[in-house]
Amino acid sequence: MTAEVGVMNGLGVALAADSAVTIGATADKIYPSADKLFKLSEEPPLGIMIYGSGSFLGIPWEPIIASYRKKLENRAAFTHAEEYAKGYVRHLKTYLRRHCTPVEQNGFVALVALYFFYHLRARFRELSEERIVINQNPVDNANAAMSIFLDLLADELRVTTNSARLHALPNGFERSFKNRYRRIIIAMLEYVFENFFLQMSASTKRRIVTLIAKLVTHRRAKQFAPIGVVIAGFGKDDVFPKLVEICITGVIGERFLHVVNSITVDREHPSHVEPFAQSEMAFTFLHGIHPDIRRFVERNLNPQARANWDRWLRNYADGINKMVSSLPKGELGALAEFLVNLTKVKHHVSKQPETVGGPIDVAVISRADGIVWIQRKHYFKAELNPQYFERKNKERIKWKKG
């Protein structure tokens, strides 16, 4: 897993990413030296971060990013940062046509289902602890647990279908998706809930498969995307920095399912802080309360108390955003690093695997100074490899000339 953050105001955008890479679904091995933050373009200045999987269709991200960067060297600069994101999606589709296999497609569906079922399991535990009496009749407890689970499914379906549907999907797509991936979805369901002894009927399992089919065809899939790409900086004509998040939710047949979220700052909205992947500690800092505790509190508020609560949260967040809007460029980088480090320290002192860790890479991107690395790790000693830095400097000069 990963902790990353983008911090923006009118001067520029700071990007920060940890370096932990997890091997295996249960964090069997963790290495603290992965690269997740890269330069995308020297002029206009843009950076790119990746989170989730360290590869796309089995190909590491670094050569994919390098080949897109090479393409950009040989074409005129795009006007706006969003166009670089659209170009990157087109670039990924070329890999899709060349390298996508049924195994890769099955893997995408399995991961989206797995992440969603982990989310469902956490919600089920919360509600069960509130509603089920331990010493009650076991049969009554089993019935109560199943009732809670079915209510959860209905609520998740409502939230999913209330989000916008992805464009350009043909009629019958959901039906063919259910027929093709039902076994994989049920296998993930049974893996996640195997110790809960829920007696799920065939009808309940069909509802769950339908829910996953709805999920991958709606914008809510962003919440459970196994891969994310963040492109931030300036297009040729951008006055203010922009940040574009591309959440890759599936590869089904020749269809590349993804959700794009674009964020900018301007005179009316002069700052923004956006965490990615493992974001709960950044959320706690920015909103004054842990998201799990916030959900628990909000379930137990009457309308008047909820209105006061919302006003307090809004005032707290507005105070943070107001200060961010005034930060100089160096402090943007310091805040971005701090927010990633907050998650890193939390994982270090808790029982959780240290899936956020290692050095924190930080870059500040501004119109005036371009891309400036505040912190950047190397897997080699700089004094032993002067030719590396000479080559990079030559590439930079070449890019600026032309």
Mean pLDDT (the chain, rounded): 88
Q: What would the mean pLDDT of 22-49 be, rounded to a whole number?
A: 85
Q: How confident is the model at residue 194 (pLDDT cuts 50, 70, 90)?
A: confident
Q: Is the Cβ–Cβ distance between 258 and 248 less than 8 Å?
A: yes
Q: Is the Cβ–Cβ distance between 365 and 9 less than 8 Å?
A: no
Q: What would the mean pLDDT of 325-352 be, rounded to a whole number?
A: 93
d(CA 313, CA 285): 12
CA atoms within 13 A on the CB side of 302: 1
User: Which of 183, 107, 189, 106 lies closest to 152, judged by CA?
Assistant: 189
Return the CATH architecture of domain 3-53+58-98+227-401: 4-Layer Sandwich (3.60)
Domain ranges of the chain: 3-53+58-98+227-401, 102-222
d(CA 185, CA 338): 38
d(CA 28, CA 308): 45
Take residue 94 and report the two structure tokens written for it: 């070329």
* Residue 176 pLDDT greater than 60, yes or no: yes
pLDDT of residue 300: 84
d(CA 320, CA 43): 31
d(CA 103, CA 91): 21
d(CA 84, CA 40): 9
Helices (H), 303-385: 303-325, 329-349
**Least trusted range by pLDDT, from 18-32, 205-219, 280-294, 357-371:** 18-32
pLDDT of residue 135: 54
pLDDT of residue 31: 82
More confident residue, 268 or 76: 268
Task: Give the CA distances from residue 82 to residues 69, 117, 188, 263, in Å, rounded to whole numbers and listed in that order.
Answer: 16, 32, 35, 10
More confident residue, 271 or 33: 271
Q: How confident is the model at residue 169 (pLDDT cuts 50, 70, 90)?
A: confident
More confident residue, 147 or 340: 340
Instruction: Reply yes or no: is the peptide bond before residue 44 cis, omega within 30 of 0.
Output: yes
pLDDT of residue 235: 94
Q: How confident is the model at residue 234 (pLDDT cuts 50, 70, 90)?
A: very high
Kindly write down the DSSP assignment for every residue of 190-233, as one continuous string. HHHTTTS-----HHHHHHHHHHHHHHHTBGGGGGG-SEEEEEEE
Burial 193-206 (b: 16+ CB within 10 A, else e): beeeebebeeebee
d(CA 190, CA 193): 5
CA atoms within 13 A on the CB side of 70: 7
Task: Give the CA distances from residue 385 to residues 63, 381, 389, 391, 398, in Å, rounded to whole numbers and listed in that order.
Answer: 21, 7, 7, 10, 21
Helix (H) or strand (E) holding 249: strand 242-252
What percent of the chain has a predicted confidence (pLDDT) above 70?
A: 93
d(CA 99, CA 58): 9
Q: How confident is the model at residue 400 (pLDDT cuts 50, 70, 90)?
A: low
Take residue 151 and report the two structure tokens written for it: 């209510």
d(CA 157, CA 207): 9
CA atoms within 13 A on the CB side of 140: 7
Secondary structure of 142-188 as H, E, C letters: HHHHHHHHHHHHHHHHHHHHHCCECCCCCCCHHHHHHHHHHHHHHHH
User: Which of 26, 16, 5, 7 lies closest to 358, judged by CA?
Assistant: 16
